[in-house]
């Protein structure tokens, strides 16, 4: 009981600090890096490879390890659970069909979206790791209770959607993301990644799905 109360207090403080820090970073930090580093790949390495891992991945790993005995899937298991990859092949196929269909509807045919440079490679490599470590490895893992994952999955999807708000506001697409219902797409992805994590008990499954989704979006959308 005492451990659960302490975990809840840490979660509350973490969420306030995490969303506050990331909002400041989105509004001022990113533009500062872009102003200093003119090469897109170098700026992206700092933003996605360095800063995001320091703010997202490292604290999440430390918290997962610290509360390993008080979360749904222990620290060691999320990295060592045996994965039956064929079970998740249908999800990869659905992702592919969905993105290619979107490309066809947008362009009249399936075609590559544009140049896929080193900056995009860096995003694909790091975004899946950083976001899944925080939202599935830590937050979802800490919120699941009494073997009732659905409410936690929904809350996790809402939190996952909310972390996109500062970036959408800064790039002027906040309203469009809602009028185009792309916000529902983000929430749906959050549920898919959460379900994959709970079923596999491995962080590597949602990371792989997340990376594949981002890769398809950059290539075709």
**Position 1 pLDDT exceeds 60:** no
Q: Residues 104-127: what's their mean pLDDT?
A: 87
Output the pTM of the full model.
0.95
Tell me how far apart the alpha carbons of residues 43 and 32 are, in angstroms, rounded to a whole number: 10
DSSP strands (E only) in the chain: none
For the stretch 200-210, pLDDT in tens is: 999 999 999 99
Tell me how far apart the alpha carbons of residues 194 and 132 are, in angstroms, rounded to a whole number: 9
**pLDDT for the residue numbered 106:** 82
For the stretch 24-58, pLDDT in tens is: 999 999 999 999 998 999 999 999 999 999 999 99
Q: What angle do CA 66, 143, 129 make, to 5 degrees?
A: 65
What are the residue boundaries of the structural domains of the chain, listed by start?
2-220
Give the model's confidence band at 146: pLDDT under 50 very low, under 70 low, under 90 confident, else very high: low
**Position 4 pLDDT exceeds 80:** no
> Cα 58 vs. chain centroid, distance in angstroms?
15
- Decide: 203 and 137 in contact? Cβ < 8 Å: yes
Give the model's confidence band at 3: pLDDT under 50 very low, under 70 low, under 90 confident, else very high: low
Average pLDDT, whole number, for the chain?
A: 94
**Position 85 pLDDT exceeds 80:** yes
Tell me how far apart the alpha carbons of residues 221 and 99 are, in angstroms, rounded to a whole number: 7
Sign of the torsion angle spanned by Cα atoms 40, 21, 16, 18 = positive
- Decide: 162 and 186 in contact? Cβ < 8 Å: no
Residue among 49, 87, 47, 95 at smallest CA distance from 212? 95
């Amino acid at each position: 009981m005492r451990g659960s109360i302490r975990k809840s207090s840490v979660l509350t403080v973490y969420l306030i600090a995490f969303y506050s820090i990331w909002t400041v970073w989105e509004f001022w930090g990113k533009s500062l890096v872009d102003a200093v580093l003119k090469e897109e790949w170098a700026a992206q390495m700092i933003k996605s490879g360095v800063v995001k891992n320091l703010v997202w991945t490292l604290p999440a790993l430390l918290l997962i390890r610290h509360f390993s005995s008080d979360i749904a899937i222990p620290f060691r298991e999320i990295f060592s659970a045996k994965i039956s990859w064929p079970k998740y092949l249908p999800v990869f196929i659905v992702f592919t069909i969905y993105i290619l269909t979107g490309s066809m509807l947008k362009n009249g045919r399936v075609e590559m979206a544009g140049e896929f440079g080193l900056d995009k490679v860096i995003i694909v490599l790091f975004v899946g790791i950083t976001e899944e470590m925080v939202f599935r490895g830590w937050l979802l893992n800490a919120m699941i209770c009494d073997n009732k994952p659905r409410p936690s999955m929904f809350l996790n999807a809402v939190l996952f959607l909310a972390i996109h708000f500062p970036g959408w506001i800064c790039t002027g697409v906040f309203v469009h993301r809602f009028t185009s219902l792309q916000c529902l797409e983000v929430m749906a992805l959050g549920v898919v990644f959460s379900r994959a994590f709970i079923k596999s008990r491995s962080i590597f499954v949602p990371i792989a799905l997340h990376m594949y989704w981002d890769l398809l979006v950059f290539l075709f959308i």
